[in-house]
Amino acid sequence: MTATTTESTEKTGARTTEAAELITGARERIDALDDRIIGLVQERMAVSAVIQKERIASGGRRVNLSREMEILAHYREALGKPGTTLAMTLLELCRGKI
């Protein structure tokens, strides 16, 4: 085994060069997906800020609990119990400072 092969398999935890290459490529794809997800979350935060601003300006409350329950249900139905946790995190990020 060459030094590069050993480094690649140690970095990925794979036992073969072929597996290490596949894992490395898949990790690059995950990194790209994570970048897109972060961008979408940031976009969601900005849209949510617009909604909150308009709701407050019209005399409404900052948070619409019935809407939040819809979002929680949507994520739970799509992703199971962990979806609820993910939705709670998104809602927390998008509420801003209360």
Rounded to whole angstroms, how far apart are CA atoms 13 and 25? 14
| pLDDT score at 94 | 95
Rounded to whole angstroms, how far apart are CA atoms 29 and 4? 21
Q: Which is more confidently placed, 66 or 5?
A: 66
Rounded to whole angstroms, how far apart are CA atoms 93 and 46? 10
The radius of gyration of the chain's CA atoms, rounded to the nearest angstrom, is: 21
pTM reported for the whole predicted model:
0.82
Q: What is the pLDDT of residues 55-91, one digit of tens each?
A: 999 999 989 999 999 999 999 999 999 999 999 999 9
Q: For residue 35, what are the CA distances in angstroms to 24, 40, 78, 87, 96?
A: 17, 9, 22, 18, 21
Q: What is the pLDDT of residues 32-55, one digit of tens each?
A: 999 999 999 999 999 999 999 999
| pLDDT score at 84 | 97
- DSSP codes of every residue in 25-54: HHHHHHHHHHHHHHHHHHHHHHHHHHHHHH
pLDDT band with cut points at 50, 70 and 90 for residue 10: confident
| pLDDT score at 9 | 76
